[in-house]
Structure 1
Amino acid sequence: MAGLPATSGRGRLTQGQVDVALHNGFGTYQKVESGALVPSAKYLRQVAELFGLTPFDLQVAHASLTGTEPVPHPSERPSSPWAQVIQGQSQMALVLDYSGALIAVNAAAEGLFDGEPPANFWHWMLSPAGRQCLGTWEEDWAPYVLAEIRRAQARHPADPGLETLRTELGCHGYLQGMEPARWGFTAEPRTMHHPRWGTGHVQYLAAQIEGSSGQMVTLPFTPA
């Protein structure tokens, strides 16, 4: 079966029975299996649940049948060992979920915040506190945060957390009329006024955490 592991295939189910189980038109699964129809991400998740595929098997099937990686489900948060990984770094490091919510922060990154770390890192970056810390904010920071939020909303359009984030950001008058950048964060240096280390440059280096909807963000700091 195209793109799906033989050991976890449909077993004794016929192609027609798969269509009935997934409430699809007759012949849908046969077209997917033969490669005549490119399935949606939702359809592949339904097939994975029906066949009991592992997340890794789903990634392989998704890549084989669509040529792209599946978007992680919001519930697939990074496991707790990632918090231990960032604690061992000397540079500022964070673990975020798909909506910018802060899952873990190391000691170096805690120095960015006045008191307790915020619930949402992207929200903090666009807040007055973030504006004070992030130099050349209007050019080098805010548009790229808005781009990251736009990408997250495109991936998870029905997520209530992202809708709440957008509503809260709409209360900031200084964001009115600001357009997102054409892409998210890249590795070029950006100015930062660190409360403890002074003015310098950082890079926003984000890496998707395999098998989850989260990412690890490292912010290496170079004094000016």
Structure 2
Amino acid sequence: MPDLLRSWRSRMDPRAIPGLAASGRRSAGLTQRDVARLTGVSERWYGALERGSEAKYSADFLDRLSSALRLSPAERRALYLKAVGRPPALASTPDAGAAVDVDKALLQRFLDNQSPAPAFATDLAWNVIGYNEPLLDWFPWAAYRANQVRWAFLEPEARQHLVNWEQDWARPFLGQIRYERAHHPKNEALWQLEREILAGSPAARRMWDRREMVEHSHGALRRLRIPFHQGREVAVRIVALRPMRSDLLRVIVLLEDRHGSDAV
């Protein structure tokens, strides 16, 4: 495992990857810190994997790592076998975004026009299907088979990045899952997301019993502590939108709230 991951990192060109600063580097390839940022985990967590340490590495993380390192199908299979002792599941997961009627070019133009505010779009099951460049500066992992909710619950780093994780982020996310499941009971992607979150997170199972239901987080003030801000806590106002033609797509814009940040 150590030799494989070092080899895969060394062949990557950081200048070709959005969200990474490539100037001033003394050597080619990605550092462990780069890969950690691109996959949404801590450098310590990724370093443990590269050292061959055994841990409960999620399929979501391994898939993001495979995408970030541009692994071939054979290399992805090798990664799974080395990391968790089994091959990856067949790529047959339900795609909630398949039925979304959206003009992708128009959506991308809208997202780009939100700069400098980070903005992204997800399908009904919170799979990221579009983003602008500022979003990648804040969350580089969003470009790699990302699912917003899986990351929030299944990656340890999320609890450090999402301030007041349980009250402000985890419980509202679970409430939104319950809300969407009630309105789309036959949606396979939502059902699978619920199952994976509850199976992989004891905290989620405990909070799920509260039976809270939340429609959306539009207008909510939340706080982040991410590497892009060098550890500084930043308050953001969440703007959540849905096109009039479809409730299978959501667009999120994160507006930095200076007043909220000053109050921290």
TM-score range, shorter chain: 0.5 to 0.7
Q: Which residue of 164, 167, 172 maps to 2:201?
A: 172
Which structure 1 residue ranges, 4+ long, deviate > 6 Å from structure 2? Answer: none
TM-score (norm 2): 0.52
Question: Post-superposition shift, 1:146?
Answer: 0.8
Cα-to-partner distance string for 1:154-200 (whole Å, 9 max, x where unaligned): 12111111111112101112222113544331413111113212311
1:79 is aligned to 2:103: yes
For residues 95 and 215 of structure 1, the distance between their equivalents in structure 2, rounded to whole angstroms, comes to 6
Structure with higher helix content: 2
Deviations 1:122-148 (A, max 9, x none): 222223232221100111111111111
Partner of 1:216: 251
The 2-side partners of 1:131 and 1:196 are apart by 16
Among 203, 206, 228, the alignment partner of 1:196 is 228
Q: Which residue of 2 aligns with 1:102?
A: 128
Count residues with an aligned counterpart: 152
Between 1:131-140 and 1:175-184, the stretch displaced more is: 175-184
Alpha carbons of 1:120 and 1:202: their partners in 2 closer, same or farther (altered >3 Å)? Answer: same
In the alignment, does 2:149 pair up with 1:125?
no
Flag the 1:157–1:148 CA change in 2: closer, same or farther, 3 A.
same
List aligned pairs for 1:1-224, cutoff 5 A: 75-80=99-104, 81-89=106-114, 90-115=116-141, 116-127=143-154, 128-170=156-198, 171-178=200-207, 179=210, 181-183=212-214, 184-197=216-229, 198-212=232-246, 213-222=248-257, 224=261
Q: Letter of the aligned partner of 1:126 in structure 2? A: F
CA-based RMSD of the aligned residues comes to: 2.1
State the structure with more CA Rg. Answer: 1
Gapped regions of structure 1 (runs ≥ 5)? 1-72
Deviation of 1:77 after TM superposition, in Å, equals: 3.8
